[in-house]
A = this chain, B = another copy of it.
Amino acid sequence: MKCLNCGYETSLDQHNITCPKCGGILEIIIELKNFTFNNLKGRGVWRYKDAIPGNYTKIVSMNEGGTPLIKTKEEGKEIYYKFEGANPTGSFKDRGMTVAVSSALNTNYKVVVAASTGNTAASAAAYAARSGLKIFLVLPKGKVALGKLAQSILYGANIIEVNGSFDVAMNSVLKMYKDLGIVYPLNSFNPWRLEGQKTIAYEIAEEIGVPDSIIVPVGNAGNIYAIWKGFKELMENGSINKIPRMIGIQAEGASPIAKAIAKGSELPVFTNNPETIATAIRIGKPVNWIKAMKAIHNSNGTALCVSDNEIIEAQKELARKEGIGAEPASAAALAGYKKALHEGIINEKEKTVLILTGHALKDPDSMLRINTKIMSLNPEEIEKNVLGEINVNN
């Protein structure tokens, strides 16, 4: 393990979550031994158990992962949507949670905590419930999409609504972890969680080989690194022969990394007041920014930002052309793909995978604001009206 802040190196130890020396972000460095795609068994995250470091006497799993990689219906194009909404709680977070919560059990913690814009909360609450661990969630008050808040309630988590943004909630969790020592943090600064998320890369590589680019929404910035790390491990192991460009997408009002990339800076342009309708990526101070920068630079990638209007349009297009229902933050990947095409960063013949991080059902309000035709009729009026509608349009 290596600290990306102070450079401190130590051997792999499941008890280490942040740097034992400076508290900085830790990187888990592993070498795949005897790993090959040819003898894997089972489905989902734990299909790649030989690539997941740590000891797990008891695995808390709901067969997460193994999500559909949906090819665009546009003929002749190699665009794929990795639909993470098909995970048990409806987002990619489940991949990391199965590893982190299993790790918490194995290191004898009794209490887990997480700050969240919503998806982490829902996932952490579900896995904590299954594991029997006590859980506290810190959520920015009034800023969590309805479905996600409802999930946290259903799972019986202890919910703390904090007066402040996600970044304030995140800080509270970091502080609590360091001060108390007895609460296990389930946020993505916990590098063990990312070991689960990296299986997105393993699944893509196994199913369609290595794409030219991966387009991924960036909030707290752990996922773009986790996916890159997966490809990197496979490449070092000889299972694949290149690494895709990692292209991160942020919302204009919450784009510390995209802004940094745009101006050639190594440091994010943090904001105290992130704003976007894509609540899952409404984050002004991504805790994993240093990892995201590493993934972007090392893969010859980039980061772009998209407007809320572009996100809304992309969500609608994804649903109405492809049939895929994704939450706004996920739709940002499609908006970003279009921008990358427009700016000549990628071309439409390349093999590209868009990571759709969460289900449309996570945020019903985002769907309800889109227009559609609704008629209120008595039973005997239906046939005439349908016939009229069909004829008008033919």
> Chain A: residues with CB nearer than 8 A to chain B?
43-44, 60, 62-64, 66, 68-70, 73, 83, 85-90, 110-111, 113, 122, 126-127, 129-131, 134, 136, 138, 141, 146-147, 149-164, 168-169, 171-172, 175-176, 179-180, 182-183, 315-316, 319-325, 359-362, 364-365, 367-368, 370, 372-379, 382-383, 385-387, 389-390, 393-394
Chain B residues positioned under 8 Å from A147 (CB to CB)? 147, 361, 364
A38 to chain B, nearest CB (A): 16
A160 in contact with B375 (CB, 8 Å): yes
Cα A131 to Cα B43 in complex, Å, equals 29
B372 in contact with A153 (CB, 8 Å): yes
Copies of this protein in the assembly total 2
Minimal Cβ-Cβ distance residue in B for A393: B134
Chain B residues positioned under 8 Å from A378 (CB to CB)? 162-163
Minimal Cβ-Cβ distance residue in B for A90: B361
Minimal Cβ-Cβ distance residue in B for A113: B386
A101 to chain B, nearest CB (A): 9
B320 in contact with A379 (CB, 8 Å): no
Cα A100 to Cα B154 in complex, Å, equals 34
A172 in contact with B319 (CB, 8 Å): no
A119 to chain B, nearest CB (A): 11
Please indicate which of the listed interface residues A111, A136, A164, A386 has the most CB atoms of chain B within 10 Å of its own CB.
A386
Cα A161 to Cα B176 in complex, Å, equals 50
Chain B residues positioned under 8 Å from A390 (CB to CB)? 111, 134, 182-183
A364 in contact with B168 (CB, 8 Å): no
Chain B residues positioned under 8 Å from A324 (CB to CB)? 62, 88, 126
B90 in contact with A164 (CB, 8 Å): no
A241 to chain B, nearest CB (A): 25
